[in-house]
Chains A and B, each alone.
Chain A
Amino acid sequence: MKPEFPRDRLSNVSSSVTGITDVAPKKATIREVIQAMPLRVKLASLWLLLVVFGAVYAKIDTAWFGGSLPLQNPNFQTNGFDRATGTFGTGEPIEGMSGAHWLGTDAIARDTFARLVHGGWVSLVVVVVSAACGVIIGGFLGSLVGFVRGRTETIIMATVDVILAFPALVLLLALVSIFEVRNLFVISTVIGVLSIPAYTRVARANSLAISSREFVTAARAIGTKPSKILFREVIPNVLPTLLAYAMVAAAFVVVVEGSLSFLGLSVQLPTPTWGNMINQARRDIKINVAQVVWPSLALSVTVLSLNQVGDYFQQRRAVKGSNL
């Protein structure tokens, strides 16, 4: 007896032959992207999200709610004198972990956990500003010189190389000490400007490769203007690599900002940053090591997480790029 023809399969076949929508691979959902991550990348992303959430939460708390949200005031001295009641606070300096102060208190009895959460804000802003400067300005310059070559390239790359040749931290110290007011804007701008050269080099290397691809010649051969080729053909292809690089560069920027605040050259006190928290707790390290450990741990775990996530995306990018 003849086996019955599998009609349902037939309909599948015909739709996959004619149905164009079936041909296109489905775009990966966020859930699928997360599922594809190895555990370390998942943990790293989680930590980064926590830091960002904490920093934004703390900022919103002080800026819009006047500190009324459930998080302690990072600058409130819990043992300080209260004018209204005429009594001293009940807090103790350099306290250990407790229900009232999860991570204890610092040398002048301020809540360490609150300071840690608030300290993330400075790192966050510096990272975002430097990445934005790097991707926008550095990415544009690099793509431009890789595409047009010639004298423009010589001049811009020479400038970039001179800046890169300086030890970054020394240059930063020199620049930062020029400014009398060292607020977050000044610090992040200076670090942002100094991160441009590295991005420029990365963008140029990619732009060189992209510019010699045939679709750029093809665009030229239908009479596209060079400016349009740069923005439509070259830069969109350089961008993914640049964003993956931004993750790795962010780790470096966090350390640089930390070093600056440790030296007291970043945002002025009493604004908490992880770097200045380490510096302040350093004096009492014999009495309570934990006060140095917490901000140091936050800093290193953040850097490690950024490296993990950055590496992961760079590798994914490399695989994808080879398929294009």
Chain B
Amino acid sequence: MYISYTTSGRSEVVSRGTSTCWEGVALSSVDGSSSTPLLSVRNLRTHFDVGGHAVKAVDGVSFVVHEGMTLGVVGESGSGKTVLSRSIMGINTASNASTTGSVRYNGTELIGKSKRELRDFWGEEMAMVFQDPMTSLNPVVRIGRQLTEHLRAHKKMSKAAATELAIQLLTWVRIPEPEQRLSNYPHQMSGGMRQRVCIAIALACSPHLLFADEPTTALDVTVQHQILNLLSQQQSERKMGMVLVTHDLGVVATRTDEIAVMYAGKIVEKASTSTLFSDMRHPYTQSLFWSIPKTSEPKHTRLSAIVGRPPNLAALPVGCSFADRCPYVQPICREVEPQLTTDSNHSFACHLPVGSADADAALSSNIAQGLAQSEAAAIRRDAQTGASA
């Protein structure tokens, strides 16, 4: 279940816990290459027109999600994760947004469909769990009605049958005494409870694909754990495809089959979870990983944050968007934009992938020259060597 930290600074996923779906998923993704995948996103771009400038929130993202598989999408705030999941579902409400590319759900193209046509997919085929359970429930409507209303309208259920299913759903998401809870208003529940209700609502019409958009960001750590367990348990029981969006590598580490790391609207590294954690190739992935505080470190160790801030999406720099914050940066990074490698098992977009001889040389020379972004890298290296010594 946990990641072990090796002294080299690399890490490995020791085990994916007791999850039995791991083998199943591996099988399905093998034969999935021949059959139609549940969700196939190709070259998706969502640009917002802001005062004549295109803000490239999602810029050419491609990935595939098979049935019963969980894809983790990781990135900082502002890297386009939320816009990505909303663009795939087609629930971007901003009038200045334009989405191009291809989103195929079970072979059906979704981009270009009208809202009316998409409504058949929402809820029944794909659903979403939102970030903040405090705001994603209607404050003036009882939980019971929020759960049953949709069932009655879409599935033409009787009131009694819908209520019964609502109780069943609340039981599935582990809410005690669900009968009583039905008559509660959202403000009478805690954040964790509300997120459970949100998950129950999302699961009500048994979707085949679930988007979880930072489902635990607004919750405290112990509740986070419960909610994530609940999500992955429901996912494996229902053989759903799931896209788990988060900024926390620790969240996706044990609960996903594949991870896509996003930076400035693009996927910069994508690999199966075990590969990614054992062999991080993109400096951004590595920086993200190092910014997780480690219990093995001595007290008061300085947390190695990523220097600087994400680039302005309206005016992306030439070359690699991460160049200004990268400890390995070389002149080529500021001139040529690295392309995602085509290796389907482990693809990354970097001129000097971590672990290569070039990268080591680049890091040493940057530290020697005292470049700003290498400062953090140096601290990190010192900490690493200090810990191993």
Contacts and interface: CB of A to CB of B under 8 A. Distances in A.
A264 interface: no
B110 to A, nearest CB: 13
A222 B154 CA distance: 10
A232 B93 contact: no
Interface stretch (B29-37, B201-209, B315-323): B201-209
Interface stretch (B51-59, B69-77, B122-130): B122-130
B341 to A, nearest CB: 34
Given A217-B130, A223-B205, 13 more contacts: A24-B184, A214-B136, A217-B91, A218-B201, A219-B138, A221-B127, A221-B202, A222-B150, A223-B120, A223-B124, A228-B149, A237-B140, A240-B140
Interface string A272-302: 0000000000000000000000000000000
B188 A23 contact: yes
Interface string B111-154: 00001000111111001101110011111110000000110011
Given A222-B122, A232-B141, A214 B181 contact: no
A215 B149 CA distance: 14
A63 interface: no
**Closest 8 pairs between A and B when the two form their complex, measured CB to CB:** A223-B123, A223-B122, A222-B123, A324-B139, A214-B135, A214-B136, A20-B180, A218-B136
B220 interface: no
A220 B128 CA distance: 10
A233 interface: yes
Nearest to A229: B138
SS of B interface (majority): loop
B127 A236 contact: no
Instruction: Give the interface size bracket for A toward B.
Output: 20 to 34
Contacts of B115: 226
B103 interface: no
Interface in A1-45: 18, 20-21, 23-25
A213 interface: yes
A224 B147 CA distance: 12
A14 to B, nearest CB: 13
Given A223-B121, A223-B150, A236 B141 contact: yes
A20 B181 contact: yes
B136 A215 contact: yes
A237 B198 contact: no
| Interface core residue of A215, A233, A237 (most chain B CB under 10 Å) | A215
A83 to B, nearest CB: 63
B23 interface: no
Nearest to A219: B138
Contacts of B188: 23-25
Nearest to B193: A23
Contacts of A323: 187
Contacts of B162: none
Contacts of A236: 138, 140-141
Contacts of B138: 215, 219, 232-233, 236-237
A25 B185 CA distance: 10
A24 B137 CA distance: 17
Contacts of B150: 222-224
Contacts of B298: none
A259 B191 CA distance: 53
Given A23-B188, A215-B137, A233-B138, A221 B91 contact: yes
B176 interface: yes
A319 B128 CA distance: 31
SS of A interface (majority): helix
B237 interface: no
Instruction: Give the interface size bracket for B toward A.
Output: 35 or more
29 contacts: A20-B176, A24-B188, A25-B188, A149-B95, A212-B93, A214-B136, A215-B137, A215-B139, A218-B130, A218-B198, A218-B201, A219-B138, A222-B123, A222-B201, A222-B202, A222-B204, A223-B119, A223-B121, A223-B123, A223-B124, A223-B154, A225-B119, A228-B149, A233-B138, A236-B138, A237-B139, A237-B140, A323-B187, A324-B140
A182 to B, nearest CB: 41
A18 B181 CA distance: 12
Interface in B229-243: none
B271 interface: no
A323 B153 CA distance: 30
B343 interface: no
Nearest to B122: A223
Nearest to B153: A228
Contacts of B89: 221
A23 B187 CA distance: 11
Nearest to A25: B188
Nearest to B175: A20
A219 to B, nearest CB: 7
Contacts of A213: 135
A136 B128 CA distance: 34
Nearest to B137: A215
Contacts of A21: 180
A263 B59 CA distance: 68
Interface in A174-215: 212-215
Contacts of A232: 138, 141, 149
B119 A221 contact: no
Contacts of A217: 91, 93, 130, 136
Contacts of B128: 218, 221
Contacts of A218: 128, 130, 136-137, 198, 201
A221 to B, nearest CB: 5
Interface string A221-259: 111111010001100110010000000000000000000
A143 to B, nearest CB: 13
Nearest to A233: B138
A222 B127 contact: yes
Interface string B80-116: 0000000001010101000000000000000000010
A225 B154 CA distance: 10
B127 A324 contact: no
